[in-house]
Amino acid sequence: MRISIRPFERGNVLLCVLCTILVVSVIGGNVLLNCMTRYNAASSQVRSWKESLDAAETGGDIAYAEIRKTILDPSHAFTGWTYSGGVYTPNSSVTYGKDNLSTSARVDAFYYDSNGNPWYRIRTQGTAPVAGLKRVGMDDRMGPNTRGDSLLRKVDFNYDHFVATYGANGDGMNKTLVPVSQPQVTRRVELIVAPITPFEAAIKAVGTFYGLGDAAMIDSYNSANGAYYFTANNPSDPHYSDSRSGNVEIDSAVATIRGMLYGNVATNGGTIVRSNQIAGTIDNNVPFTVPPFKMPTDFPTPQSSPTKVPGNSTVTVNPPAAGSAQSPISYLFSSFTGHLVVNQYASSQTYVDIHVTSDVTGTIDITPNVHARIYFDGNVNVKARDVVNESGIAANLQFYGISPTDPSVSQSIAIGPPGSYAATFYAPSADFSLTGNPDITGAIVCKTFYGNGNTTWHYDRQLDKVGDAVDYRVINYVEDIR
Amino acid sequence: MKLKTSQTIAGFTLCEMLVSLSLSSIVLAAAITCGISLQKSFSAVDNYFTTHMQQIRIIDYLNRDVKRGLIVTTSVDLQTVTMSVPSYIIQTGDPEAVANPSLVGTPRTPTIAYTSSGWQVNYTASPVTVVYSISGSSILRTENGVVTTIASSTDQLVPQSTDVELANTEYANTSVTFLPIFTSGNAVASRTGTSMYATAYLRNKRRG
């Protein structure tokens, strides 16, 4: 038998094939659609959300760098920014990276501390484009109180939701619809930048640290509560909380700490071998920088005399006025090898600044109610008893070592026995050595520290609040999650 | 009588029919089996990625709050995280809002205080408390009493966080693990936990 095949009967097969292809395509398309949506959310939106925070923090870093320049490079601070209504804003936003992230910031000084140092607020925003389909995620359906991804990651598909809802500055003013050229995520961060005062730790060394003797001790007190007494082992004492801030900070892995330390220790990769001697916390992952110290550009015009403190002689300074912390009475000495006495003006709190352009090898006596700052270009080589601060308040006698401009030139501070002193040293380029067993009230910032005696060292917590800013740090971070 | 055989009404022989039916049955059975398998696979993959997205969401939520946090504390069983975050936005009922209702929804200007642990920036006297916890198959985020379900899955979604205190700050290590749903013959098939890890540092100095 022969069966004829007629063309009009082939349609059935074709139809079946087409239907099968259709069904398979629908299944495949559904799979692809879901996969793309997942990919869209998992890859594009999550990535953009994270990158926008990176951009916002980048904007914060840029603004922070400008704030630091107000101390380290004042002539170039906020170059390319506009100052209006107490707020600095960049002339243009910054776009960077292959993903075209953009950022901008606003900076304003919102608070001035008792030293006149400004505290800055940075409000920064970072924007990251969202690649892929203009679709929300698929997980906004979990329950009545849940909106899944869009509650966390706010993607602006057509308009900037933040400006439309809260205003450009988030203060409810100037709310408007701002179209976006493509889907994007914007995150906003507020940073508070605080001045770093010179003496925020008992000892701060940029380089190596060795000390003190096995029977040495570092603790703290607060001179606002009266004279020092030891209370670091007495929790019931009302001043106990001020007694354990004898902090030591070392930006080096070479850190040999001896003696008893009532405070925290921070190193940069160091290993503390006698940690049982440290009452506070130990953190070996705290890198920091201390910029070189430059002679203040606003140093007042010096008095005409005296101009030096020659050896084997006593020079007495009687200021013609009391001055103030911001406008002290100033002197310029070409040498300092003799004995210097600084008296107060009348019965007033007297503020005196002295710039010594040579080494300091003489003796100094600061009478009560005098607040003296000694800036020196050279080295210091004295005995502890040669530094007489009659008030006993370390903040009243502050030494500042001007960093040599030639990096091959070293600077040193050597304090030998006998005697004790109450003073502070801020000399980030100086090698500091302390010998003997002095009783010290004060603080030191230096390049390297060496002390081999059984020193007792008392950090005055009031020092944390004195002095002009030497740098800035970000002290607070909060994200505007709206 | 002789029957005429017309070529236009030619049919199939019984043999052909049996062969074609057999083949069709086999093809249909294969297609149905494939379809069911595809559906199961798709369902499993869809469920996997849904839970995976929730893994990411939990981590992102936690990290966002840890970064702006002042204190982060985890429970002994590592499944509840409590943190304090600055109260940045003025809310209805806050003292500023009572004094000036137009301030609702605006950022606060912080105050500066010197404390026994140094300088502190405070937006309010008391920061906001945020708690992450597990309730059944859901992960909850509670901020000032307001509960938000940030993830919900039957895949045994388990977050664990550890906070590590440093001298000046701390960081939180978080892992979120789930067991993907997959069955074979109506029985739970062999499966391996899928984990995601993240570390976030507090940007702020730790308090307490």
Please report the residues numbered 295 through 354 in chain A whose beta carbons come closer than 8 angstroms to any beta carbon of chain B.
none
Please report the residues numbered 206 through 265 in chain A whose beta carbons come closer than 8 angstroms to any beta carbon of chain B.
241-242, 264-265
Expressed as residue numbers, the domain containing B92 is 87-126
DSSP per-residue string spanning A170-201: SSS-S----B-SS-EEEEEEEEEEEEEPS-SS
| Structure tokens, B56 | 């990411």
Q: What are phi and psi of A13, to 5 degrees?
A: -65, -45
Neighbours of A110 (CB within 10 A): 14
Band of pLDDT at residue B114, cut at 50, 70 and 90? confident
Which of B88, B119, B205 is facing A480, going by the closest CB pair?
A: B88
The residue of chain B with its CA nearest to that of A478 is: B68
Which residues in chain A have Cβ-Cβ distances shorter than 8 Å to B167? 264-266, 280-283, 286
Q: Determine the pLDDT at residue B153.
A: 76
Last residue of a domain, one of B105, B126, B147: B126
Looking at the structure, do residues B204 and B114 belong to the same domain, yes or no?
no
Neighbours of A452 (CB within 10 A): 17
- Distances in Å between the alpha carbon of A416 and those of A11, A453, B41, B142? 110, 10, 81, 60
How many beta-carbon contacts under 8 Å exist across A and B? 126
The stretch B78-102 carries a mean pLDDT of 89
Does some domain include residue B18? no
The C-alpha atoms of residue A286 and residue A264 are separated, in whole angstroms, by: 12
Q: What is the ipTM of this complex?
A: 0.83
The residue of chain A with its CA nearest to that of B45 is: A35
Does some domain include residue B14? no
The C-alpha atoms of residue A261 and residue A275 are separated, in whole angstroms, by: 9
Q: Are strands B128-135 and A329-333 parallel, antiparallel or unpaired?
A: unpaired
Band of pLDDT at residue A426, cut at 50, 70 and 90? very high
A480–B60 CB contact, under 8 Å: no
- Are A402 and A467 in contact by the 8 Å Cβ rule? The answer is no
Does some domain include residue B177? yes
Band of pLDDT at residue A137, cut at 50, 70 and 90? low
Q: Determine the pLDDT at residue A10.
A: 54
Whole-number mean pLDDT of chain A?
89
Which residues in chain A have Cβ-Cβ distances shorter than 8 Å to B166? 281, 283, 285
| Structure tokens, A328 | 């002290």
Instruction: Verify cis geometry, omega within 30 degrees of 0, for the bond prior to A33.
Output: no
Looking at the structure, do residues B61 and B134 belong to the same domain, yes or no?
yes
Q: Residue A37: is its pLDDT beyond 80?
A: no
The region, left, alpha or beta by phi > 0 then psi within -120 to 50, assigned to residue A211 is left
Which residues in chain B have Cβ-Cβ distances shorter than 8 Å to A146? 148-150, 152
Q: Residue B185: is its pLDDT beyond 70?
A: no
Q: How many domains does chain B have?
A: 2
Q: Determine the pLDDT at residue A142.
A: 54
Q: How far is B7 from chain A (nearest CA, A)?
A: 7
A481–B168 CB contact, under 8 Å: no
Query: Among A93, A91, A90, which residue's Cα sits nearest to residue A106?
Result: A90
Q: What are phi and psi of A419, to 5 degrees?
A: 105, 180
Q: Determine the pLDDT at residue B178.
A: 84
Instruction: State the helix-helix crossing angle for B14-67 and A11-39, rounded to 10 degrees.
Output: 10
Q: Residue A173: is its pLDDT beyond 60?
A: yes
Lowest mean pLDDT among A35-49, A356-370, A429-443: A35-49
Query: Among A5, A429, A460, which residue's Cα sits nearest to residue A223?
Result: A460
The C-alpha atoms of residue B208 and residue B204 are separated, in whole angstroms, by: 12
Q: Determine the pLDDT at residue B7.
A: 58
Looking at the structure, do residues B105 and B195 belong to the same domain, yes or no?
no
The residue of chain B with its CA nearest to that of A242 is: B116
- Per-residue pLDDT tens digits for A96-106: 999 999 999 99
Looking at the structure, do residues B63 and B157 belong to the same domain, yes or no?
yes
Write out the H or E segment, with its range, that includes residue A39: helix A11-39
The residue of chain A with its CA nearest to that of B89 is: A480
Mutate to test the interface with A, among B16, B24, B57, B122 (most CBs of A within 10 A): B57
Which of B106, B109, B148 is facing A151, going by the closest CB pair?
A: B148
Mutate to test the interface with A, among B24, B46, B49 (most CBs of A within 10 A): B49
B67–A479 CB contact, under 8 Å: yes
Q: How far is B76 from chain A (nearest CA, A)?
A: 22
Mutate to test the interface with B, among A37, A478, A479, A481 (most CBs of B within 10 A): A478
A3–B67 CB contact, under 8 Å: no
Which residues in chain B have Cβ-Cβ distances shorter than 8 Å to A266? 167-168
Q: Determine the pLDDT at residue A131.
A: 86
The region, left, alpha or beta by phi > 0 then psi within -120 to 50, assigned to residue B86 is beta
Which of A282, A474, A482 is facing B89, going by the closest CB pair?
A: A482
- Distances in Å between the alpha carbon of B205 and those of A61, A285, B85, B170, B198? 18, 15, 12, 8, 20
**Range from A52-61, A292-301, B96-105 that averages highest in pLDDT:** A52-61
The C-alpha atoms of residue A240 and residue A247 are separated, in whole angstroms, by: 15
Query: Among A408, A419, A416, A409, which residue's Cα sits nearest to residue A432?
Result: A416
Neighbours of A352 (CB within 10 A): 23
Q: Are strands A439-451 and A203-205 parallel, antiparallel or unpaired?
A: parallel
Q: Which amino acid is at A44?
A: S
The C-alpha atoms of residue A11 and residue B61 are separated, in whole angstroms, by: 58
The stretch A136-161 carries a mean pLDDT of 73
The stretch A62-91 carries a mean pLDDT of 94
| CB-count exposure of residue A319 (10 Å: 0-12, 13-18, 19+) | buried
- Are B180 and B202 in contact by the 8 Å Cβ rule? The answer is no
Sheet with A363-366, strands from edge to edge, namely A314-317, A339-342, A363-366, A387-389
| Structure tokens, B81 | 């995280």
- Per-residue pLDDT tens digits for B136-174: 888 889 998 888 888 887 777 788 888 887 767 788 888
Looking at the structure, do residues B67 and B34 belong to the same domain, yes or no?
yes
Torsion of CA A75, A81, A84, A89, to 10 degrees: -130
Torsion of CA B185, B188, B190, B195, to 10 degrees: 140
Place of tokens 């308090």: B207
The C-alpha atoms of residue A85 and residue A98 are separated, in whole angstroms, by: 35
Q: Residue A248: is its pLDDT beyond 90?
A: yes
Place of tokens 């709050």: B65
A241–B116 CB contact, under 8 Å: yes
Band of pLDDT at residue A7, cut at 50, 70 and 90? low
B64–A479 CB contact, under 8 Å: yes
Q: Residue B195: is its pLDDT beyond 90?
A: no
- DSSP E strands in A258-318: the ranges are 260-261, 265-266, 282-283, 314-317
Q: How far is A331 from chain B (nearest CA, A)?
A: 34
A3 touches chain B (CB under 8 A): yes
Query: Among A190, A166, A193, A183, which residue's Cα sits nearest to residue A57?
Result: A190
Last residue of a domain, one of B77, B95, B126: B126
- Are B112 and B119 in contact by the 8 Å Cβ rule? The answer is yes
Q: Determine the pLDDT at residue B34.
A: 81
Looking at the structure, do residues B67 and B141 belong to the same domain, yes or no?
yes
Looking at the structure, do residues B122 and B156 belong to the same domain, yes or no?
no
3-class SS of residue A387? strand
Does some domain include residue B16? no
A138–B50 CB contact, under 8 Å: yes
Band of pLDDT at residue A358, cut at 50, 70 and 90? very high
Which of B56, B106, B150 is facing A172, going by the closest CB pair?
A: B106
Sequence-distant (≥ 6) Cβ neighbours of residue A301 within 8 angstroms: A330
Does some domain include residue B67? yes
Please report the residues numbered 9 through 38 in chain A whose beta carbons come closer than 8 angstroms to any beta carbon of chain B.
20, 27, 30-31, 34, 38
Q: Determine the pLDDT at residue A144.
A: 56
Which of B56, B68, B151 is facing A477, going by the closest CB pair?
A: B68
Q: How far is B161 from chain A (nearest CA, A)?
A: 20
Place of tokens 């409000």: A123
Looking at the structure, do residues B101 and B167 belong to the same domain, yes or no?
no
| Structure tokens, B62 | 């936690």
- Are A111 and A118 in contact by the 8 Å Cβ rule? The answer is yes
Q: Residue B191: is its pLDDT beyond 90?
A: no
The residue of chain A with its CA nearest to that of B109 is: A110
The C-alpha atoms of residue A162 and residue A157 are separated, in whole angstroms, by: 12
- Predicted structure pTM score: 0.82
Q: Which amino acid is at B19?
A: V
Q: Which amino acid is at A405?
A: T
Q: What are phi and psi of B82, to 5 degrees?
A: -120, 130
Which residues in chain A have Cβ-Cβ distances shorter than 8 Å to B50? 138-139
Last residue of a domain, one of B75, B104, B126: B126
Q: What are phi and psi of A14, to 5 degrees?
A: -60, -40
| Structure tokens, A308 | 């030096």
Mutate to test the interface with A, among B47, B150, B157, B169 (most CBs of A within 10 A): B150
Q: What are phi and psi of A275, to 5 degrees?
A: -65, -20
Does some domain include residue B19? no
Band of pLDDT at residue A145, cut at 50, 70 and 90? low
Q: Are strands B146-152 and B138-143 parallel, antiparallel or unpaired?
A: antiparallel
Q: How far is B132 from chain A (nearest CA, A)?
A: 15
Check the CA dihedral A16-A18-A20-A23 and report its sign: negative
B68–A138 CB contact, under 8 Å: no
Q: Residue A389: is its pLDDT beyond 80?
A: yes
Looking at the structure, do residues B187 and B159 belong to the same domain, yes or no?
yes
Q: Determine the pLDDT at residue A310.
A: 94
A481 touches chain B (CB under 8 A): yes
Query: Among A172, A286, A49, A192, which residue's Cα sits nearest to residue B68?
Result: A192
CA triple A227-A233-A237, angle to 5 deg: 55
Q: Residue B9: is its pLDDT beyond 90?
A: no
Looking at the structure, do residues B101 and B64 belong to the same domain, yes or no?
no
Q: Determine the pLDDT at residue B138.
A: 84
Does some domain include residue B8? no
State in Å, rounded, how far the first CA of chain A is from the last one. 82
3-class SS of residue A381? strand
Looking at the structure, do residues B104 and B136 belong to the same domain, yes or no?
no
The C-alpha atoms of residue A110 and residue A120 are separated, in whole angstroms, by: 6
Band of pLDDT at residue A4, cut at 50, 70 and 90? low
Q: Residue A6: is its pLDDT beyond 60?
A: no
Q: How far is A1 from chain B (nearest CA, A)?
A: 9
The stretch A249-272 carries a mean pLDDT of 87
Looking at the structure, do residues B72 and B143 belong to the same domain, yes or no?
yes
| Structure tokens, A185 | 């995520």
**Which of A467 and A340 is assigned the larger pLDDT?**
A340
Sequence-distant (≥ 6) Cβ neighbours of residue A303 within 8 angstroms: A319, A320, A329, A330, A331
Q: Determine the pLDDT at residue A3.
A: 54
Lowest mean pLDDT among A4-13, A78-87, A204-213: A4-13
Which of A3, A38, A481 is facing B49, going by the closest CB pair?
A: A38
Q: Are strands A439-451 and B71-74 parallel, antiparallel or unpaired?
A: unpaired
Does some domain include residue B104? yes
**Which of A280 and B39 is assigned the larger pLDDT?**
A280
Whole-number mean pLDDT of chain B?
83
